[in-house]
A and B are shown apart, each in its own frame.
Chain A
Amino acid sequence: MLAIWPAAKTKPLASTARASRAADGSASPDPMSRAADRLPDPPASFDSEHAAQLTAQTEAALERQRRELALSIDKAFEYIPRPLRGTIRLALER
């Protein structure tokens, strides 16, 4: 198993970045580059119900994107020639 980002498959994505960094110490995304706490403010004209609805839809899109990235990195290694896998892993963990 070449899991570059093993925690992503089992944990809620909101906490995945920090948890997986702690677990493997290297290959997880840099928390500083993550944007979960920077969800944009919804348009001022919305009432609170619709503002919450739009924020939830945006957060879902962000989580889906993170989930896809985590899974696709693991899958990518299936197509990388074996002799190059270590080098690529190191480059991603830099």
Chain B
Amino acid sequence: VNTAINSRAEALKLARLLGLDGPESLAYTQQVPASELLDYRNAVTELLYDDDRALLQRMADAASLLPVHTLATVAERALGAPICARLTGLLDPDLAEEISWELSIDFLAEIAAELDPRRAIDVLRSLPPDRTLDIAVAMAAHGEHVAMGRFVAHLGYARLAACVETLTDEDLLRIAFVLEGEERLEELFELVGLERAQCMLDGAESVGLGEEALDLLDHLNARQRKQLLQRSPG
């Protein structure tokens, strides 16, 4: 496994978490082992999510005092996606789902991009599959592949399959590169299918995703890699 590529993937995730313009803001991190960057990113995630936790919990508790349409208005026009993401895991899951029906798909995609899915699993599972797919498509349109990589581990098979079918090859390569919970990568590969995977890898260089393609190959199991190499011309 190419350690420099792994570090670049981690730098991408850390830059997203810190709200930096791009991974070039963290160019100096790319010589650091990915495992160290991962540990740091996990610590920063805890730091950002737990800061002002008591106040956020009071906000979440107070939400039950307001009508759902007011909560949706407050969410979209006053709080904004980053705060809503932190509140999502603190709200009663049923109330969170009710509010979500009042929010636009674009705003839900913005919330999802800020969300730590581990903290909102009940809410994620309560969303209907077609709504999950709409949110995924909007996230891809916003270029939120790093955030999407966090969700793969938390999507059931049917939702993941629908996303794979709908998203573009380029989207899937970008997501696979920053995937959290790499044990899902082999399943993702099976869902993509051999023929599409081959096209995806063959076309990667032309869209500037050569490193992402190499990284994908590195993370497949031996059988899958062999299948792909057998199909490769020359």
Contact = CB atoms under 8 A, between A and B. Distances in A.
Check if A and B associate. yes
B55 A29 contact: yes
A23 to B, nearest CB: 16
Contacts of A61: 17-19, 44, 48
Interface in A56-70: 57-58, 60-62, 64-66, 68-69
Interface of A: 28-30, 32-35, 38-40, 42-46, 50, 53-54, 57-58, 60-62, 64-66, 68-69, 72-73, 75-76, 78-81, 84, 87-88, 91-92, 94
B50 A33 contact: yes
Given A53-B28, A68-B80, A80-B74, A33 B55 contact: yes
B207 interface: no
Contacts of B53: 33
Contact size class for B? 35 or more
A86 B44 CA distance: 35
Nearest to B76: A79
A65 B78 contact: no
B62 A75 contact: no
Identify whether the interface residues of B are mostly helix, strand, loop, or mixed.
helix
Interface in B17-70: 17-20, 25-26, 28-29, 31-33, 36-37, 39-40, 43-44, 47-48, 50-56, 58-59, 61-62, 65-66, 70
Interface of B: 17-20, 25-26, 28-29, 31-33, 36-37, 39-40, 43-44, 47-48, 50-56, 58-59, 61-62, 65-66, 70, 73-74, 77-80, 82-83
Contacts of B62: 88, 91-92
Contact of A58 (B31, B44, B50, B59): B44
Contact of B25 (A40, A45, A57, A84): A57
